[in-house]
Structure 1
Amino acid sequence: MASNPPAPEAPSVPNRRSSETEDGKIPTFGFGSYRTDEGPWEEWNPSADSTRPVRGRHRVGKQRGGGLARSSTVLGVGVIAAVGGAGMATAQSGKPPVSISIPDLPSVGSPFTHDSDDEPKGSATALSSVGVTPEETEQGTSDAGEALRSRIILQAEQQKDQAEAKVQQAAQDAAARKAAAEAAKVKREAAAKVAAEKKKIAEAAAAKVEAARLATLAKQYTLPTSSYTITGTFGQAGSLWSSGYHTGLDFAAPTGTPIKAIHSGTVTEAGWSGSYGYRTILTLDDGTELWFAHQSSINVSVGQKVATGDVIGRVGATGNVTGAHLHLEVHTSSSDSAGIDPMAWLRSMGLNP
């Protein structure tokens, strides 16, 4: 740091007491009495090469491009740097700003104007760290690092909270979807149960109606004979039949057992028919033909109208047979020459052979 050269020691001049001054005025300088440790006094005239160091509060003379301007520039930059550093430390650490005190500098330039290049220069020391101890600088750095660590931890915690919130929301959505699916399943099961109940009720009602219809038909239809045994059913295969299978329903009964009209109709055939033996054909009002074969005798004639239960013939063993029985066939307008199953047709009419 530049400083002014030391001034030569001032000459010792005896001082006068206030009683010796003119008009009793206060002495211009000195202690008011002679000092044994001072003197001899000589007149001192400051010059460019001998100037006392300026100490404490003082006024600085205006310089032309001298050291004071440069020193002021350095001082301003230092203050700005110090304030900036303090502000940065405050922003980082969150503590109140560090107070900066500017001490009296030993020299900021000459108080006099000099055109010489040898004039004293101001201090070039930066003031960014003025008033800040190394411990405070280290503490500020530590506080800044702690603040950065806190921010990182806070950000990590926020990200963790967001991830946990997403997971929780996903779990809630999954639970809601599961609950909705279960509710839909329960609703479907309830609807299916209701539909099944309705179907069951409808089926029961239909069965009741069918039973009533069959009961009514049963009064109009009857089985062709009694005291019988079913010995052959429709569709049985075997060499006993010329077609290779059985085309009717056999009621085995003793010879002479009465054969009754199953339903009211008109006799369209009555007589011998080859392998069928004596056969009677009863045609119903809807065109259905009932064939009664292997009779021992015939009690009706062609064109005769009969009612349900009228005796039309007797069980026998005529034609291609192995024993006495009634061979019954059912032929409808839509069936082929083989006819349909007599067992199913009888049941459809409310009869149970």
Structure 2
Amino acid sequence: MASNPAAPEAPSVPSQRSNETEDGTFPTFGFGGRRIDEGPWEEWNPTADSTRPVRGRHRVSKQRGGGLARSSTVLGVGVIAAVGAGGMASAQTGKPPVSISIPDLASVGSPFADDSDDEPQGSATALSSVGVTTEETAQGASDAGEALRARIILQAEQQKDQAEAKVQKAAQDAAARKAAAEAAKVKQEAAEKAAAAKKKAAEAAEAKREAARLAELAKEYTLPVSSYTITSTFGQAGSLWSSGYHTGLDFAAPTGTPLKAIHSGTVTEAGWSGSYGYRTIITLDDGTELWYAHQSSINVSVGQKVGTGDVIGRVGATGNVTGAHCHLEVHTSSSDRAGIDPMAWLRSMGLNP
């Protein structure tokens, strides 16, 4: 490896053993007397060029005092600042601090070489660790670990809060749906109750109106006999009737009991009628025919106008009978020869046989 040329040597100085000067002005040093081979003496003042160290591998003795020692201190402070900044950055980023190693110079001291073996040859401590203790390094790693731990705990708590919020929202939605369904059910039940009550009220009002109408009709209609017993009803089957079933309503009463006109009308028939015996037919204004059969006597004639309650004859047992009674049949314009049920028709007129 090439190196720079050595610095020029200092000129030799005449020397003498005594402290006296040669000319009484300058002291001399050496091993006595001026030597012949020594050049002319002159004072040597070192300069920056003359004292520049040889480049390459060399060893510099440690200086006992200021000078480059202070430079080393400044370098050490810079390294401490860099290490501290690295620790802070590691703490902020959540990563463990990275150790920075800077190799130290063998020695930093006097610029003059010293081959003495008993001089210290520099410090073995790395400049990267100057001023940084083990406790501080552990503290930096602990701080970074605590920061990471706190961050993980925070994320876990946030996830837990989100899950709890989701569960709570689902419960609230379910409760809201349940409440809405219950409210709808209550509303529907209330509507149904109101509709039922309204219907019931309407039915009651209708029944009241019908009762009033029947009461008015009852003033216009009356039963054929005042005292009686119902012995046979409409549609009753049996061999006693030629048609195979009963076609009217029988009011059993003693012979001679007065028969009354159920409603005002016109007598359209009065006389004998075979199995019916003596029969009277009264035709109402709407065309409905009322047949009174098995009479013992007739008190009206054809074409006669009668009013409600007028006596038209007497109860008897003429014709095909087993006892005294009034056989009543009701025939409307739309009914056939058999007629309709006299019991239902009388009730529709406000009467209750």
Does structure 2 conserve the Cα–Cα contact (< 8 Å) formed by 1:82 and 1:128?
no
Corresponding residue of 2:60 = 52
- 1:1-353 maps to which residues of 2 (within 5 A)? 48=54, 52-53=60-61, 58=68, 83-84=85-86, 86-92=88-94, 105-106=105-106, 132-353=132-353
Sequence identity, in percent?
79
Deviation at 1:218? 1.1
Aligned partners of 1:79 and 1:333: how far apart in 2?
A: 126
Deviation at 1:133? 4.7
Deviation at 1:186? 3.7
In the alignment, residue 89 of structure 2 is paired with which amino acid?
Answer: G
Deviation at 1:215? 1.7
SS at match of 1:205: helix
Aligned partners of 2:165 and 2:59: how far apart in 1?
A: 77
CA separation of 1:244 and 1:141: change in aligned 2, threshold 3 A: farther
Deviation at 1:331? 1.3
SS at match of 1:220: coil
Structure 1 residues 146-205: Cα deviation after superposition (integer angstroms, max 9, x where no partner): 333322222222122122222222323333333333334444444444444443433333
CA separation of 1:208 and 1:152: change in aligned 2, threshold 3 A: same
Aligned partners of 2:100 and 2:131: how far apart in 1?
A: 5
Q: TM-score, normalized by length of structure 1?
A: 0.66
Q: TM-score, normalized by length of structure 2?
A: 0.66
SS at match of 2:313: strand
What value does the CA root-mean-square deviation take over the aligned residues? 4.3
Aligned partners of 1:188 and 1:306: how far apart in 2?
A: 58
Aligned partners of 1:237 and 1:270: how far apart in 2?
A: 28
Does structure 2 conserve the Cα–Cα contact (< 8 Å) formed by 1:265 and 1:283?
yes
CA separation of 1:82 and 1:143: change in aligned 2, threshold 3 A: closer
Aligned partners of 1:77 and 1:137: how far apart in 2?
A: 14
Aligned partners of 1:146 and 1:305: how far apart in 2?
A: 121
In the alignment, residue 325 of structure 2 is paired with which amino acid?
Answer: H
Q: Which moved more, 1:193-202 or 1:149-158?
A: 193-202
Does structure 1 conserve the Cα–Cα contact (< 8 Å) formed by 2:102 and 2:126?
no
Does structure 1 conserve the Cα–Cα contact (< 8 Å) formed by 2:255 and 2:325?
yes
Aligned partners of 1:196 and 1:182: how far apart in 2?
A: 20
CA separation of 1:52 and 1:163: change in aligned 2, threshold 3 A: closer
CA separation of 1:217 and 1:107: change in aligned 2, threshold 3 A: same
Unaligned runs of 5+ residues in structure 2 are: 1-14, 26-43, 70-74, 113-124
Does structure 1 conserve the Cα–Cα contact (< 8 Å) formed by 2:80 and 2:132?
no
Structure 1 residues 202-255: Cα deviation after superposition (integer angstroms, max 9, x where no partner): 333333322222121111111011210011112222222233322211101111
Aligned partners of 1:83 and 1:254: how far apart in 2?
A: 135
Does structure 2 conserve the Cα–Cα contact (< 8 Å) formed by 1:265 and 1:282?
yes
In the alignment, residue 204 of structure 1 is paired with which amino acid?
Answer: A
SS at match of 2:219: helix
Aligned partners of 1:286 and 1:342: how far apart in 2?
A: 16
SS at match of 2:150: helix
CA separation of 1:89 and 1:286: change in aligned 2, threshold 3 A: same
In the alignment, residue 233 of structure 2 is paired with which amino acid?
Answer: T
Does structure 1 conserve the Cα–Cα contact (< 8 Å) formed by 2:86 and 2:98?
no
Aligned partners of 2:236 and 2:98: how far apart in 1?
A: 118
CA separation of 1:91 and 1:257: change in aligned 2, threshold 3 A: same
Aligned partners of 2:282 and 2:105: how far apart in 1?
A: 148
Does structure 1 conserve the Cα–Cα contact (< 8 Å) formed by 2:87 and 2:140?
no
